[in-house]
Amino acid sequence: MTLEEMMKKLEELGNEQTKNTYLRHGAKEPLFGVKIGDLKKLVKYVKKDHELALALYETGNHDAMYLAGLSVDPKKISKETLQTWVEKANWYMVAEYTVAGVAAESKYALELAREWMKSESEMIATCGWSTYSNYISITPDEKLDLDEIRSLLKQVKNTIHEEKNRVRYTMNTFVIAVGAYIQELSDEAKQVAEKIGKVHVDVGQTACKVPLATEYIKKIEDKGKIGAKKKTCIC
């Protein structure tokens, strides 16, 4: 399918109810309002065409950008393209899911996560924390820099409540990721979770809630799933 054909298909799949839901969560125009489940059905048409996936992201249309993230080959994507993607991520769903998921599975995961986490831009920084969390979820413990992760846990403990809105959310998610996916650091993550307590994030006119890290990690622990890695973080 050509870019024009795919954009027409996305427009056909869009609906006002989904669009309004995305807008309440912070999405920016343009978008059609396509459900994630419907986007996933289109992946098979885009996945074979790397250039089409890149072109979809460049449209600036939310639905097309999200589809690009589901379809692009993270092993083929360049560092420069990922940098462009994060700079164009205009709301948290694209930054924390689309870009972060692809970046985490790319060759540049740690390099970019470290750089982005230090950014003064809220969307870039939140993408950085999400990228690192996703990287933890798919990477064997022996390949992780545990000292660096300990240092980041300490940073979260000391600064989370003074950070920008969405950065608070993804810092909290980082603590959960460490507690859930790294056996050796799980107890340390639980201690940080206890220390930071409830994290307040403005989620706008939505019913979304910030997960309490202590409870989330405990649920995973109760299931005996601490340390179980995921196969992919692109979703």
> ω into residue 30 within 30 of 0, thus cis?
yes
Query: pLDDT tens digits for 71-85?
Result: 999 999 999 999 999
Secondary structure class of 69 (helix, strand, coil): helix
Query: pLDDT tens digits for 144-196?
Result: 999 999 999 999 999 999 999 999 999 999 999 999 999 999 999 999 999 99
Q: Does the pTM of the predicted model rise above 0.95?
A: yes
DSSP string, 172-203: HHHHHHHHHH-GGGHHHHHHHHHHH-S-----
Q: Looking at residue 93, what is its pLDDT?
A: 97
Burial class of residue 161, CB neighbours in 10 A (0-12, 13-18, 19+): middle
Rg, Å, the chain Cα set? 18
User: ∠ at Cα 88 (7, 81), nearest 5°?
Assistant: 85
- Distance in angstroms (rounded) separating the CA atoms of residues 231 and 118: 28
Q: Looking at residue 205, what is its pLDDT?
A: 83
- Distance in angstroms (rounded) separating the CA atoms of residues 117 and 149: 13
- Distance in angstroms (rounded) separating the CA atoms of residues 223 and 149: 24
